[in-house]
Amino acid sequence: MTAFNTVRFRVKPGRDQEFLDAHKNVAATWPGLTHANIIKTGDRSYCIIAEWKDMDACVAARPNMIATLNSFRDTLEDLGGGLGVTDPAAGEVVLALK
């Protein structure tokens, strides 16, 4: 069953391009990734939404995702509320609408 993960970020002032550039090779370094997009949700706020062939592929890619995160972690601001610099969520598709 197809799975998705999403991660919310807030980038430090003036570091947006570094943040975006750090994601340019995710297709090569995240095995099992079907599709991914980064959307800008506000001033210095972004969310990555990634589609995986299944939840096992998403879970298996976590070390690679963390390695990618570590390459740009210093560009991120703490989100507050005890979250740290990311707000991740993942799961299998339970209803495909279109």
pLDDT digits (tens, 9 = 90+) for 69-93: 999 999 999 999 999 999 999 999 9
CATH number at residue 41: 3.30.70.100
In a domain, 95, yes or no: no
Considering its fold, how many domains does the chain have in total?
A: 1
- Quote the domain boundaries for residue 14: 3-78
In a domain, 98, yes or no: no
In a domain, 86, yes or no: no
- Which H/E stretch holds residue 20? helix 16-21
pLDDT in tens, the chain (98 residues): 899 999 999 999 999 999 999 998 887 788 899 999 999 999 999 999 999 999 999 999 999 999 999 999 999 999 999 999 999 999 999 999 98
In a domain, 60, yes or no: yes
Write the CB contacts of 30 (distance below 8 Å, at least 6 apart in sequence): 36, 50, 61, 64, 65, 68
Q: Is 86 exposed, middle or buried (0-12, 13-18, 19+ CB in 10 A)?
A: middle
In a domain, 83, yes or no: no
**SS3 call for 90:** strand
In a domain, 88, yes or no: no
